[in-house]
Structure 1
Amino acid sequence: MKILDWYILKRYLGTFILMLLLFIPIGITVNLAEKIGKILENEVPFVEVAAYYLDFTIYFANLLFPLFLFLSVIWFTSKLANNTEIIAFLSSGVSYWRFLRPYLIGATIVCIGALVLSMYLAPKASKGFNEFKYEYLKKGKEVQETNDVYRQINESEYIYASNFQPLTKAARNFTLEHFEGNKLKFKISASRLQYDDSLGTYKLTNYDKRIVGEEGDVILHESTLDTVLPFEFDQLTPVNYIAETLNYNELNDFIAQEKKRGSANMNRYMVVAYKRWSLPVSAFILTIIAVAVSSVKRRGGMGVNLALGISLAFIFIFFDKVFGTIAEQSTFSPLLAVWFPNITFGVLAIYLLINAKR
């Protein structure tokens, strides 16, 4: 059986790699055709363009590897079925579960590779990909804002602002409260806050400071005040894609920090963290579905299997995107949203596998 195991395993991994090598250049070509005008307009150096498309390749492979894996398994398994090779395997006394073993070994190899990619390589690629996009392709035209921010910045101080603007380094209706134990000691408020990158200071407009005393409060007022505050502006308003750019250890630390600060984007970060595990695990589920669908010889041949496989693959991706978006923009559980496609298709995999075995 080792010969048959190696035969299927080599086809499994070889077809998957071939699928990546075929589709990634297509993705690069389509992206380049769309972005070439901006690249030439901004006179982007060739070295940076090459680095961008290296990052794009890793980002693209990590994002769509479940689809490539699914199609590659359907492709070569359908060929085995059409050539009656599967019938020969099973007729020799090999059980269907034993026939699945090399597929599961291949899925394990892909899963381990996908984990390394998802945990460490893809975040670094995502950082370069997004930095290039915002520096050369968008040029700061898309101003991202964060509304109603309330955060704990350390053990004794809290801030609030009705609006933060990361690109202009400004905020409106800003307050900072300092506590010692459960007692408020002073409160700073300003109608506008502006951060100066060159000096590392903040300019406060309509500045008020209320110092709480035992015998009465003291109020200080300035029309404008340049001062130092105990936080970095970027730490308060991380851009939406920052979680994607952190490796597994950095992401865990970042999430713990954002929880302490009371970030309004926690669901977004949790979705990214859970997907680091859910996508690699999907390799097993999609492999089993692909084998169950394509191991049966059908009247329509490989075309029917591919059509059915592509439909299932896009339903999986649709579920993954829709439930992830719902969790990011509502109070829906990120854990359930991320794992729902795997749970649903896991049940489908068991059903199809039982029927295929029969």
Structure 2
Amino acid sequence: MKILDKYLLKTFLITFTTVFVILFFIFILQTVWLFISELAGKDLDLILVVKFLLFSMPRIIPLVLPLSVLLASIMTFGDLSENYEFAAMKSSGISLQRAMRVLIAFIFILSIVAFWFSNNVIPYAEYKFTNFRKNIAQAKPAMAIAEGQFNDVGFYNIKVNKKSGENGNILTGVTIHEKANNNGENKTVIKAKDGKLVSSEKSSILKLELNNGYYYQDVTPKKYEDRAKLPFIKGAFKKHIINIDLSELNKVDESKENINGTSAMLNVNELGYTLDSLNKSFKNEVLSFSENINQRVGISKTTRYFAKEKKKKSLPNNLLSLYSNREKLEIIKMASSNITSTVYSIESTQKDLKDKQRDINKHLTALYEKFVIAFACFLMFFIGAPLGAIIRKGGLGLPIVFAVLIFITFHFINTFGKRLSQEGGMSPFMGAWMSSIILSPLAILLTYRATNDNGLINFDALTTPIHNLFQKISKRFFPSQNP
């Protein structure tokens, strides 16, 4: 390795390490800020809090690493240009591509490490983080109920608008969905103005006292024609007590691990296997439902029957004319009931299929993201290095402004693409790679302009046509003033 390569690599590594540590610390503080309400005041010892933060750290890397590469590239090459070191290199016949060569090799190694980290360390840390957080919530039942969202606690889904009290045991605006034992549907809803969690270390029962509320329960009639009326039972109460058995939940072991199939906890091989299973399940359910609907409606049998009858004798256009008025009424009622039942079944299955497709999209997005983070390191380097050479400014002033603007654009497009692809608005591939595809032309343009010693914006290309236009207008309307 030549002296110039060692100097550039050393300068870049010092800047990159400094920026990475600072940004990592900032994002750790953000994580603490997000979870401080759940960790503070819950009688958790320091070891549990440290473990909690350690397991949450790896998920920050996909945000910190590209931003660090971008900022370090702008600062390094901006510093070299500002101190006329690049001018000395170019006068010696060393081009920008030659100066970037050793750093390109470093970014290539960094991209491989980033992919390995994203494929192995982050899924493992996410697995530990999720289960560790769940175990803490089981040890401290009040933590299991977060404000503003439904929380799975035993056989109940509980949502509260606000928690108060020393341990968050005073609840305001309580909504509870009781899980059915047979099909998993939530047919019982309890709403209360306020409530209180009462627990004891000697007891495995968590008592939930509710005050001033209502009780709703859906009723499923045996007759299909009555289901369209959506009957339900409603009752009011001043005080209602729900006992939740936490005997199993309180057997908490911080090292206990539960299998959880979320996409963030899987590596590339596991995601491929899971996607294969999800796609097969999705196709089988679509096929099974279509066959079930055809059998229920009897399309194929009815078609064959009328085809045979039509060969034997001619049938009237109005088949109901073959029956009496009373029989017509019964047939119409039966048909209406069948249609209502079929529509309900289609709507329910459509929702299930939509949820399954969303799950498939999430897994596909998680698969592509592991490659996106590796490419993002290359992308940010080829944006930052030429940009630093063009603006010729180092330090923490102008480079930070450019770096933040570019990274916010990248992060916004990336987040928007992922959300849109998960809801089926675009393919998961496009959603994951959209930010890279949009910013790649910028990297190519900046590299081209920096190589040819052009500025960031060629103002002459904008002002010269306008100046020539005014000259033509002036010569035409004021010929005497233009000799």
Normalised to the residue count of structure 1, the TM-score between the two structures is 0.69
Distance, in Å, in 1 between the alignment partners of 2:375 and 2:180 is: 40
Letter in structure 1 aligned against 2:401: A
Distance, in Å, in 2 between the alignment partners of 1:257 and 1:275 is: 20
C-alpha distance 167-282 of structure 1, shift in aligned 2 (>3 A)? farther
Distance, in Å, in 2 between the alignment partners of 1:297 and 1:342 is: 23
Superposition deviation, residue 144 in structure 1: 7.3
In the alignment, structure 1 residue 354 sits paired with structure 2 residue 435:
no
Return 344-353 or 7-16, whichever deviates more: 7-16
Distance, in Å, in 2 between the alignment partners of 1:318 and 1:116 is: 25
Letter in structure 2 aligned against 1:39: L
**Partner SS for 1:111:** helix
Letter in structure 1 aligned against 2:448: I
In the alignment, structure 1 residue 325 sits paired with structure 2 residue 419:
yes
In the alignment, structure 1 residue 139 sits paired with structure 2 residue 144:
yes
Distance, in Å, in 2 between the alignment partners of 1:170 and 1:352 is: 62
C-alpha distance 66-167 of structure 1, shift in aligned 2 (>3 A)? farther
Question: 1:134·1:140 contact (CA, 8 Å) conserved in 2?
Answer: no
C-alpha distance 168-9 of structure 1, shift in aligned 2 (>3 A)? farther
Distance, in Å, in 1 between the alignment partners of 2:419 and 2:367 is: 14
C-alpha distance 169-65 of structure 1, shift in aligned 2 (>3 A)? farther
Distance, in Å, in 1 between the alignment partners of 2:180 and 2:116 is: 35
Superposition deviation, residue 97 in structure 1: 1.6
String of CA shifts for 1:171-203, please: whole Å, max 9, x gaps. Answer: 7488xxxxxxxxxxxxxxxx99xxxxxxxxxxx
**Partner SS for 1:288:** helix
In the alignment, structure 1 residue 254 sits paired with structure 2 residue 254:
no
**Partner SS for 2:144:** coil
Partner of residue 360 from structure 2, selected from 266, 269, 274 = 266
C-alpha distance 68-38 of structure 1, shift in aligned 2 (>3 A)? same
Q: For residues 218-233 of structure 1, what are the structure 2 equivalents within 5 Å?
A: none
Q: For residues 1-358 of structure 1, what are the structure 2 equivalents within 5 Å?
A: 2-136=2-136, 139-141=144-146, 142-143=149-150, 172=183, 242-262=262-282, 263-264=356-357, 265-298=359-392, 303-358=397-452
Query: What is the count of residue pairs matched by the alignment?
Result: 281
Letter in structure 2 aligned against 1:124: Y
Superposition deviation, residue 300 in structure 1: 9.7
**Partner SS for 2:276:** helix
**Partner SS for 1:277:** helix
**Partner SS for 1:332:** coil
**Partner SS for 1:316:** helix
Distance, in Å, in 1 between the alignment partners of 2:134 and 2:391 is: 50
Distance, in Å, in 1 between the alignment partners of 2:419 and 2:84 is: 43
Question: 1:82·1:301 contact (CA, 8 Å) conserved in 2?
Answer: no
Q: Between Structure 1 and Structure 2, whose CA radius of gyration is higher?
A: 2
Distance, in Å, in 1 between the alignment partners of 2:277 and 2:12 is: 42
Distance, in Å, in 1 between the alignment partners of 2:396 and 2:383 is: 15
Distance, in Å, in 2 between the alignment partners of 1:170 and 1:132 is: 28
Distance, in Å, in 2 between the alignment partners of 1:349 and 1:253 is: 35
Residue 159 (structure 2) aligns with: none
Superposition deviation, residue 167 in structure 1: 11
Distance, in Å, in 2 between the alignment partners of 1:170 and 1:92 is: 79
Higher strand content, 1 or 2: 1
Superposition deviation, residue 96 in structure 1: 2.1
Superposition deviation, residue 331 in structure 1: 4.1
User: Once superposed, what is the RMSD of the aligned Cα atoms?
Assistant: 3.3
Question: 2:78·2:392 contact (CA, 8 Å) conserved in 1?
Answer: no
Letter in structure 1 aligned against 2:364: M
Distance, in Å, in 2 between the alignment partners of 1:295 and 1:133 is: 46
Which blocks of at least 5 consecutive residues in structure 2 are unaligned? 138-142, 153-176, 189-218, 223-258, 283-355, 453-483
Residue 177 (structure 1) aligns with: none
C-alpha distance 34-270 of structure 1, shift in aligned 2 (>3 A)? closer
Residue 307 (structure 2) aligns with: none
Superposition deviation, residue 2 in structure 1: 1.5
Distance, in Å, in 1 between the alignment partners of 2:178 and 2:100 is: 53
Distance, in Å, in 2 between the alignment partners of 1:168 and 1:23 is: 44
**Partner SS for 2:57:** helix
C-alpha distance 250-140 of structure 1, shift in aligned 2 (>3 A)? farther
Distance, in Å, in 2 between the alignment partners of 1:38 and 1:83 is: 50
String of CA shifts for 1:262-283, please: whole Å, max 9, x gaps. Answer: 2331111111110100111111
**Partner SS for 2:397:** helix
Return 116-125 or 64-73, whichever deviates more: 64-73
C-alpha distance 28-251 of structure 1, shift in aligned 2 (>3 A)? same
Distance, in Å, in 2 between the alignment partners of 1:120 and 1:129 is: 14
Return 273-282 or 65-74, whichever deviates more: 65-74
C-alpha distance 297-32 of structure 1, shift in aligned 2 (>3 A)? closer
Superposition deviation, residue 290 in structure 1: 0.3
C-alpha distance 87-171 of structure 1, shift in aligned 2 (>3 A)? farther
> What is the aligned-residue identity percentage?
23
Distance, in Å, in 2 between the alignment partners of 1:90 and 1:99 is: 10
**Partner SS for 2:442:** helix
Normalised to the residue count of structure 2, the TM-score between the two structures is 0.52
String of CA shifts for 1:223-277, please: whole Å, max 9, x gaps. Answer: xxxxxxxxxxxxxxx97x8110112222221221222222331111111110100
